[in-house]
Each structure stands twice: as structure tokens, then as C-alpha cells.
Chain A
Amino acid sequence: MVPLQYYIIMSAILFTIGIYGVLARRNAILVLLSVEIMFNAVNINFMAFSAYITPATMVGQIYTIFAVASGAAEIGIGLAIILLIYRGRETVNVDEVNMLKW
């Protein structure tokens, strides 16, 4: 049997990789993929806790169903915004999108 701790640490490392990707990438599509990694790390956490801590109520699994659905909606929005930016200025690089100062 795999100890719960292993899942939690693995997901923490995965989440951190996602953070690095969000901060270091300039291509907006790659930033989105990094955010996906972070969301999936959270989902692993919920699934593992659901299996080990509340096997009967399945709260974590149900959370994950909702999170996956809303995550997919978010990716759709994100890609639409990226297309909009691309149409306006032929770039998808976050740091070139700088008419407004951060």
C-alpha cells in the first residue's frame, strides 16, 4: 500500500513545477499549460485525501468532478482571449502585451 504522504509530496512538487512554468514562460499557451499542471496537482491532492481520509463520503472525488469541469471552461476562455490578443497584435507572448504598465 502506498502511504498517503507520498501522494501529497508528489502533488506538492507537481504544483511547484506549475508555479515555475507560470512565472518563467512568456508564451501565453505555455503559461496556460503550466496552470493546468497546478490544477491537476490540486486534483491529485483531493483524490488522495478522498481515498485515504473520507473513503465513505467521496467529497474529494466529487470536488474533482466539479474542478475538472470548471477547469475545462477556464481553458476555453483562456484560449479565446489568447486568440483575441493574437488577432490584435500578432503575438501570444505575455511580456509583449504591455500597453498597460503592470
Chain B
Amino acid sequence: MAREFIYLVPEIIVLATALGVLVLDLVLGAKRKPLILALASVAGLLAAAGFTANLMGQRAIVMADMFVIDSFGLVLKVVILVGAALSVLLAVGFLERPKSHPGEYDFLIVASTLGMMVMTGSNNLLLAFLGIQLTSIPLYILAGFKRNDSKSSEAALKYFLLGVLTAALMLYGMSLLYGLTGTLNLTTIAARLGGIKTNDPVLFLGMVFIIAGFSFKIAAVPFHFWAPDVYEGSPTCVTAFISAVPKIAGFAVLLRLVYTAFPALTPQWTGLMALMAVLTMVTGNIMAIPQKDIKRMLAFSGIAHVGYALIALAVPGQNAMGALVFYLLAYSAMTAGAFTIVVAVGRVSHEHQITSFAGLGTRAPVLAAAMTVFLLSMLGFPLTAGFTGKFLVFSAAIEKHYVWLALIGVINSVISLYYYFGVVRQMYLTPARATTKMQVSGLVWLLIAIALTVTFALGIYPEPVINLTRHLVVLFARF
């Protein structure tokens, strides 16, 4: 038992960080409090990321078969932890306003991150459910964190109601699966399913309900209804977090479920995933076109990206899994970068219409150039992370003879040109309403620089990361 705790050191560090932030919040004076708390959280999260990276290559199931340590989970945990650290930094400006509760904010972000780590590693449906709860409950609160803004409260209410509704559906599915197999452990479910007919309708129903519940977390169609409203209503720094980080954990738990528990039902779930991928891509791209609010536009664009990533789930195999991990990394970098710029612009213009980007090319040329890079990356332009990610996903699909799926993906990428270009046109071709130069804080520059570096690194010289995802990313269940 004591030996097993070594594998849980990252989680323990994150928990200690969360509690430490609460204590620091009590003892610190008001001066520079948001920055100090943020730096403490970042230190804890990065330390946990370091320990996680240190575990790389290990394979184990610990805590009475509850928790899996494998490089697939470890890689994603590092991405989650770094993403969470960056979004803590992004929020410093938001929390410097009076009465903004920085201690509680950082605590909730770190607690949610802990939930995502639990989700990523769970080998048990009960633990996966609790991980989802620990991820979601802080997010409901963070969505409503601007307490005197009724849009923010509304975002919290919608997120919460749709969240509990899908949670109930997911639990119903888990109960049916438990009735069939007598266990909630993913590995044992796979073993027991050997004795059950795979065309058992109860099994199929249970699987569909569970996948539906997990799909809510990644905002896949038809479980995406919360995303635009929550993105628009939440404080933008929370939106940046929600859009980039929890989706990684959602994909991790979804992939672990279908790969570990349902290898016997591969034809059924690949069909479901392919259907969901097509619906998600098309809905996301079509709905993004008429949006006037940049956060809503990015919400639908994020939905479309979930669709591309779902292609990788629809074509199971080592290459597809590596492509998925790469895509999630690329997606979180470019989304985080784009939202950082939305935060920076929003702090000056106090609104989030796409028109508020008008003339950014003259008012803040570097910011506009960076935004252009992130949008091009989302579009899938060569030399950016988005291109490599899409290339890997589509070639994994073609390799498994799903040419039509890759084709739909390419067509959707072309559609997305329209709305991404809309923002670029605003920035460079529409005259600015204000002519003053924009002031951007050093922290925001730092975050943009990091996101830019990752976006270009994964686009220009992706070989090391591709090799990593191809060979290192292995799932425990396959051994």
C-alpha cells in the first residue's frame, strides 16, 4: 500500500496546493494578494506536472484497481496541469478588482484540476463519476463567479442544470452496466462481457447513456447546448479554462472507457463516435458562422474541433490514439492563446463582440498578429499546430479506410475559413473605433508567448512530439 502512494504524489501535491491556497488566503494581507496566490498555485501545479513527468514510462494499477498509471494518462495529466497553471495566471487581472475572492477562485481552479486528474486516471466507473463531479462542481461556481452580472449567474444555472441532467443519464447507464456485469471496474467489465452476448440491448443502452454523459464534458453534439451560453456568460478567464482543459480530461475518460471496457463492442462504439464526429463538426462549423460574439464564435469553433478529435476516437488504434493526444495538445494551446487575447481586448473594450477587434492591426499589431496565428492554426494552416493535428487525425482515419470521415473533416475545415477570416478582416481591414494604443500586462504577454511557442513548435518541428505520441502513449489495458 505504502509503495502505491508514490504513484499518487502528483494528486497529493495538487490537493495540498488547493488547501494551501485557502490557508494563504486567510493569512495574506490585501496587497498583491491575487498575484501571490496565483504564483503559489502555479508553483504547486507545475511541481505536480514535474512529478507526473517523472513517472513517465511507469505502468501500474493502484488503490485496489481503481487508478491507472500509464503514459497515456500521464501525458494528458501534464497537459492538464500546465493548462491549469496558465489559466490561473490569466485570471490575475480579473481578480485584482475589489471583492473578487482570489483565494476561492484559485482554490476552485486547483480543485477542478484535481478532479480532471482523477478522471484521467480512473479505472472504475464510480471513481470516474466522482472525478467528473469534482471537475464540474467548481466549474459551475466559477461560471457564476461574476456575482453581480446576471449573465454570469445565468451561465452557471444553465451549466448546472444540463450538467446534472446528463449526470443522471450517465448514472442510469452505469447502473444497467453494473446489473449486467456485477462490477464497476473497467477491466473487470471487459472480462465479464466475454460471457455476455455483445448484441444485448441492455448493454448497448447502458453504453450509450454512459458515453452520453462523458460527451457532455467535451461538448460533443447533441450534448453541446450548454457550451455557447456558458462560454458567453462566464468571466472570460473562466471561459478560457473551461474551453481548453476539461475537454482533455473528458476525452481521456471517454477513450479509457471504450478502449478498456468495451473492446468487445468496437463496431458499435466506433459507429457512435463516427456519427457524433460528423454531427459535431457540421453543427459547430455551421453555427459558428452567424455569431456576433467572439466567445460564442470560439465556443462553436471549439465544438467543431471536438468533432475533428472524435474522428480519432472513431478509428481505434495506436496511431489514432497518438493523433488524439497530439490534437488535444494543439487544441488547448491555440484555444488558450486565442482566449488570452480575447481577455486582453475585453479588458480595454469591456465587451466581446467580434467588432471590438476592429482595427486591432493598427492599435496593437503584435496582438493582432498573434491572434491571426491562433486563428490560422484553428483553421489548419500549414506550419501551425492545428495543421499537424488535423493531418495526423485525418491520416489515421484514411489508414483505417475511413476516407469519407476524413473528407467530411476537410470540407468542414474549408467552411471554417469563413468565420475565422471574419475576425482577421475586422482586425486588419476595418478602421478602429478608438485610436489609442492598447495596454497589455506583462503576464498576458507571457501567456501569449507560451501559446505561440507551442503552436509554432508543433507546426514547424512536430517530429519529437509525434514520436512521443506514437510510441510512448500506451494504454494500460493493452498489456
> Do A and B touch directly, given a CB cutoff of 8 Å in the complex?
yes
Residues of A bordering B, CB below 8 Å: 8, 15, 18, 22, 28, 31, 35, 38-39, 41-42, 45-46, 49, 53-54, 57, 59-60, 62-63, 66-67, 70, 73-74, 77-78, 81-82, 84-85, 88-89, 94, 97-102
In contact, A88 and B178 (Cβ under 8 angstroms):
no
In contact, A94 and B165 (Cβ under 8 angstroms):
no
In contact, A77 and B140 (Cβ under 8 angstroms):
yes
Q: Contact string, B270-283, partner A, CB cutoff 8 A, digits 1/0?
A: 00000000000000
In contact, A77 and B178 (Cβ under 8 angstroms):
no
Q: Contact string, B184-215, partner A, CB cutoff 8 A, digits 1/0?
A: 10000000000000000000000000000000
In contact, A46 and B147 (Cβ under 8 angstroms):
no
Bound Cα distance from A11 to B397, whole angstroms: 41
Looking at chain B's contact residues, is the secondary structure mostly helix, strand, loop, or mixed? Answer: helix
- A and B contact pairs by CB, cutoff 8 A, 18 listed: A31-B161, A35-B161, A35-B168, A38-B172, A45-B175, A45-B176, A45-B178, A59-B178, A66-B126, A77-B140, A77-B141, A81-B156, A84-B153, A85-B150, A85-B157, A88-B148, A89-B150, A99-B154
Chain B residues with CB under 8 Å of A22's CB are 161, 165
Q: CB within 8 A of A46: which of B140, B141, B175?
A: B175
Q: CB within 8 A of B182: which of A15, A31, A59?
A: A59
Bound Cα distance from A57 to B150, whole angstroms: 48
Given contacts A63-B126, A70-B133, contact A15 B154 (CB under 8 A): no
Q: CB within 8 A of B155: which of A39, A45, A62, A100?
A: A100
Chain A residues with CB under 8 Å of B179's CB are 8, 45, 49, 53
Measured CB to CB, the closest approach of chain B to A93, in angstroms, equals 11
B225 CB-CB contact with A under 8 Å: yes
In contact, B178 and A49 (Cβ under 8 angstroms):
yes
In contact, B137 and A77 (Cβ under 8 angstroms):
yes
Given contacts A59-B184, A88-B153, contact A46 B178 (CB under 8 A): yes
Residues of B bordering A, CB below 8 Å: 126, 129-130, 133, 137, 140-141, 144, 147-148, 150-151, 153-158, 160-161, 164-165, 167-168, 171-172, 174-176, 178-179, 182-184, 225, 228-229, 232-233
Q: CB within 8 A of A77: which of B147, B160, B165, B171?
A: B160
Measured CB to CB, the closest approach of chain B to A89, in angstroms, equals 6
Q: Which residue of A lies closest to B147 (CB)?
A: A84
Looking at chain A's contact residues, is the secondary structure mostly helix, strand, loop, or mixed? Answer: helix
Measured CB to CB, the closest approach of chain A to B231, in angstroms, equals 10
Bound Cα distance from A97 to B152, whole angstroms: 11
In contact, B151 and A100 (Cβ under 8 angstroms):
yes
Bound Cα distance from A89 to B160, whole angstroms: 18
Bound Cα distance from A51 to B150, whole angstroms: 47
In contact, A99 and B160 (Cβ under 8 angstroms):
no
In contact, B229 and A102 (Cβ under 8 angstroms):
yes
Given contacts A31-B161, A63-B126, contact A81 B153 (CB under 8 A): yes
In contact, A97 and B172 (Cβ under 8 angstroms):
no
Number of A-B contacts (CB under 8 A): 112
Chain A residues with CB under 8 Å of B148's CB are 88
Given contacts A45-B179, A46-B175, contact A100 B229 (CB under 8 A): yes
Measured CB to CB, the closest approach of chain A to B318, in angstroms, equals 32
In contact, B232 and A73 (Cβ under 8 angstroms):
no
Bound Cα distance from A49 to B231, whole angstroms: 40
Q: CB within 8 A of B156: which of A41, A84, A89?
A: A84
Chain A residues with CB under 8 Å of B158's CB are 97, 100, 102
Bound Cα distance from A59 to B140, whole angstroms: 29
Bound Cα distance from A86 to B182, whole angstroms: 44
Q: Which residue of B lies closest to A88 (CB)?
A: B150
Bound Cα distance from A46 to B266, whole angstroms: 26
In contact, B172 and A45 (Cβ under 8 angstroms):
yes
Q: CB within 8 A of B133: which of A31, A62, A74?
A: A74
Chain B residues with CB under 8 Å of A59's CB are 178, 182-184
In contact, A99 and B126 (Cβ under 8 angstroms):
no
In contact, B178 and A74 (Cβ under 8 angstroms):
no
Measured CB to CB, the closest approach of chain A to B188, in angstroms, equals 10
Q: CB within 8 A of B144: which of A70, A74, A81?
A: A81
Bound Cα distance from A100 to B167, whole angstroms: 23
